Structure 1
Amino acid sequence: MAAGLLAQGYVAQRELATAAFLALRLQRPLFLEGEPGTGKTEIAKTLAALLGRPLIRLQCYEGLDLAGAAYEWNYARQMLEIKLGQLAGDDLFAPRFLIPRALLQALQQPGPPVLLIDELDRADEPFEAYLLEVLSEFQITIPELGVIRAAEPPIVLITSNRTREIHDAVKRRCLYHWVDFPSAARELEILRLRVPGAPERLSRQIVAFIQGLRALDLYKLPGVAETIEWSRALLELNALELDPETVQSTLGVLLKYQDDIARVQGSEAARLLAQIRAEQGHG
């Protein structure tokens, strides 16, 4: 599994690759929790590409309900057919009036898709209760129609940035994996793969600087996504190595809160750069 993910451009830890493999074999949802920017969403995209399956993504948000996540009725079409006299009373909730959203779409696919339920922690807690039927039985009960069950279970990945705790009832129905920030060696491997045009010396300095940032008490630590974006930004500036002026002018690519930028710029950035040069040498 790790080799397959790598072939698609995703550098996975052995534990994550094993969790994904077992989720596929056991037909169990995979619950991925961790800091933002650690590649949780990306693995769903990578799995879909690896398996040649469509990706159906449900982006969670506050106030998400059945109409946004599962289905809603096409009331406008119902009313139109009633006015035209084309609708008998017992046909009011016929399947043709059903508008499927992400969850129902995933159950109705002819071949099992990858269903990504992204950032579940952003949704309200009551929404989790509705997910239980989908996660355990791979079905949705529609009061007016009955039960719609997947012919083949979709491959379900759920992500959470842990802004709040997800209920145990959801987690019990899933395999669980905590996606941590990568080690320096793995992050360098990711950079080589995702930003192949970056000079080796610069890539090593970027990784060392970001690893140093993650040791600081910042409000929001930079993730792998920021590592890649910063590398590309530095290439656009024709940087060959890190220097104080370049770091100072590009901190907004890495850090998204002014308090964090103020904490790092100046002496803290200079200290990290000096440490990197001492460890890696000037040559």
Structure 2
Amino acid sequence: MPLAMNREVFITCAVTGSGDTAGRSDKVPVTPEAIAAAAIEAAEAGAAVAHLHVRDPETGKGARGLDLYRETVRLIRASGTDVILNLTAGMGGDITFGSVEEPLPPSPAGTDMAGATERLAHVAELRPEICTLDCGTMNFGEGDYVMTNTPAMLREMARQIQALGVRPEIEIFDTGHLVLAKWLNDQGLLDGPVLVQLCMGIPWGAPDDIGTLMAMVNNLPSDWIFSAFSIGRNQLPYAALAALAGGNVRVGLEDNLWLRKGVLASNGDLVAAACQTLEGMGAKVLGPAETRAKLKLERRA
């Protein structure tokens, strides 16, 4: 197979996520002010897209409060920084079963199930250019937590996202999720160019070995645009691997806390390292305006 390296690459920075990482690094942003500052830092370092979660400022845990999204987005937009906003729509699909002997009722700790309209309330109000759509259901961790996204839920969320004029970034955690994404596209629910994020190395999804990545890439329709990332220590190597595979790049503290062994990273550090890798390979790192043109997006004020 001939090399299909992407030589014009955009970088997404996933600045905080919702996982239990805030206690492991003081560089993980928690408050709206800190998350906005991290997104601006990432943009200044070379990221065209900022992927945003919000957190409870008191506990540091993942949250989906509309007021938190509202303030975070306001601060980024008020700064005048040109960055494409990509808000998660993954929250509200979380279920933690009671126990292996009594799975029902679900445990209140870790369970947050909401309807499609509620899950998209922040997207409807704030109208980012992109929001995520987690295209499937998957086990996480070693306990009883399941990320839950049924076909009916995804179909309705895709319908509402399309009606809002927002581009979904389809999050693919395993091969069957790609099949589901194609099903949504066949129903006319995904506007082109379809944007896909290949989320690799997350237990118990697709492992981040090269063979599995290329199997996913080779099953993407040729007119879809994709990014790929791996969690943990393989995040920065994936900046090279994703581009070599023909895709774009995601880095950030949602997926990895370390710049190198023993050195905690900031989001700006990770974006700068990805830029250095890509430019060293002869690739051009696209800015927000060039990325909008590539994805056929309209800038939002």
- TM-score, length-normalised on structure 1? 0.30
Which structure features the higher share of helix residues? 1
Radius of gyration: which is bigger?
Answer: 1
- TM-score, length-normalised on structure 2? 0.28
Which structure features the higher share of strand residues? 2
